[in-house]
Structures are given as C-alpha cells and as structure tokens.
Amino acid sequence: MNPTLPPLADVLDLLPDAVCVVDEDGRYLYVSASFERILGYRPAEVLGRQAFEFVHPEDRQDTMRQAAEVTAGAIQRHFRNRYVHKLGHVVDMQWSACWHPDHRVRIGVGREATELRRVEEELEHLASHDTLTGLPNRHHLQQALTRALSHARATGDRLALLYVDLDGFKAANDLGGHDAGDRLLQDVAGRLKQGLRHGDVAARVGGDEFVVLLPGCRDAAAARRVAEGLRARLRQVDRVAERPFQLDASVGVACFPGDGEDAASLLAHADQAMYAVKRGPPDGER
C-alpha cells in the first residue's frame, strides 16, 4: 500500500504553536489543537467568534490596527500582544500573520511568549537598577529626569533634585568590612524609599552617593524640607560589627528652572551644592 498524506489539520495539530485562520471580519474559521493548549478554549468555543474578543482589552486597539495592516498586504512576523486565558489569567503571545487574497482569510501562527516577556523584564530591570540596593541606577535616573523635565516644560510645573552623599560610610567599611558596608547601603536604600512620595525617584549613582528626583516640588524650601526628613531617617542608629553606628548625609539641592534647565546642569548644580554642604560654611560665618 502506497503512503498517503494525512489531512493537513492532523499535521497542524501536532505543532506546539497555535495556527488560526480568520475571515476578513476577524472571525475564527479554524484553530489548531495548540490554541486550546495555550489559551484554554476548545475549537467549538471560538469558531465563528471575533478573535479580538479574546485579546486583552489594553491590547485590542493595537491588535486591530495590526490586523488591518496584514489585510492590506503587510506580512507580520513578530507581533506581540496579550490574550485572556479561559481561566482568566493573561497570556503573552507572539504572532506571524499574512493575508491570503485568493481565499479572503488571514492566517496567523502564534506562540506563547509569557516566559520570554518575563526574561525581558528581568533583563530590563538589571540594566536599569543597581544590583546591590535594587534602586534605579544612573541610566534610569537620566531617563526619569528627562521625562520629568519634558513634563515640567509643557505644564509649567517645577521639580527638584537632591544629591545625597553619605558621611561616615568609609568608617563603617573600615569597622565592619565590605559586607557590613553593603548591608548599610541596602538599609540606606530602604530608608530613602520609605521617605519618598509616590512618583519620587531615588537612585544610586555612585559608591555612597544617591540622587532623589522630586517631580512637582514647588520650590527650594520644600525641597530642603524633604532633604532634612531624609537626612533624619539616615541618621537613625544602626549597628556595624555589633557596635552602634550612626551615619549622616550631606544633601545638595537643585531646582528647575532656577538652578538649570536641563538634566546635566541640574545634576551638576546639585552635586556642587552637596559639596558646599559637606565643606560647611566659610570660617567667617561659623
């Protein structure tokens, strides 16, 4: 007996990716077995229904736009969106799709990308955050400051930067070693976060240097009050090498637009102000 090809649907059902065919209005005409494996719906539950019904509401408009581009002749190879599983949880999907004009249908092949998205988010977090303290790093701060400045220019709002340098950190390292210093930095990060409002950003920009971004801070007096509150938190007595230890901090303040109108000038002004605080007032003013 000569071999014969099995029905194409039997072959498609073996694929780990979901294969879907929809008409011009976006109604399912066919889904392979992996559609149920990935999204929980049996073919009988989706055939004849709009594919967009199963897309996450936040992604629906973008998905409809992409579908229209495919119907117009574009070939989509790496479109990402989210679907709602039959059990209610969100599933990240990546699609390749094309339009078959002779049959007036769109064919899409989709694979689950939930794990891929998780890895991407982890890598993005690692690239934008300090590995020791978990705070945003200098790169993240620059992005947040750029966005805050754009918003302030557009709305006439203000913002402030606090440049925080720990006083006594070297002594903690000398007393307890680098492990103790690392634990102290982690504690400092926690205290900074506890002292901020929603929308404020605290970033670690150096060994024992931190910058705090205060969007919407109306003037230097308000920024100084925040600075004093953070300094009070940082002065709480800690323990290093089983001995009481108290940090302090020098804090420089820079306000937009008075102290600079771009990120570089504001950071430089706050840094200079911090060093002025660290040096203390001139001899004649003491």
Q: What would the pLDDT profile of 187-229 be if each residue is shown by its tens digit?
A: 999 999 999 989 999 999 999 999 999 999 989 999 999 999 9
Average pLDDT over residues 113-141: 94
Report residue 281's pLDDT band, with 50, 70 and 90 as the boundaries.
Answer: low
Contact 141, 148 (CB under 8 A): no
Half-sphere exposure in the Cβ direction for 57 (13 Å, CA): 1
Average pLDDT over residues 45-49: 97
Provide the 8-state DSSP code for 81. E
CB under 8 Å to 231, separation ≥6 — which residues? 248, 249, 251
Q: Where are the domains of the chain?
A: 11-117, 129-280
Span 11-117 CATH architecture: 2-Layer Sandwich (3.30)
pLDDT given for residue 249 in this prediction: 93
User: Cα-Cα-Cα-Cα dihedral of 89, 95, 100, 103, to 10°?
Assistant: -20
As a whole-number percent, the residues of the chain with pLDDT over 70 amount to: 97
CATH fold of 129-280 reads Alpha-Beta Plaits (3.30.70)
Report residue 26's pLDDT band, with 50, 70 and 90 as the boundaries.
Answer: very high
pLDDT given for residue 131 in this prediction: 94
pTM, to two decimals: 0.76
Mean pLDDT for the chain overall:
92
Which carries the bigger pLDDT value, residue 170 or residue 94? Answer: 94
- Please check the confidence at residue 174 and state whether its pLDDT lies above 80: no
Which carries the bigger pLDDT value, residue 151 or residue 169? Answer: 151
Whether the bond between 257 and the residue before it is cis, its omega within 30 degrees of 0, is yes
| Partners of residue 255 on adjacent β-strands | 160
pLDDT given for residue 176 in this prediction: 73
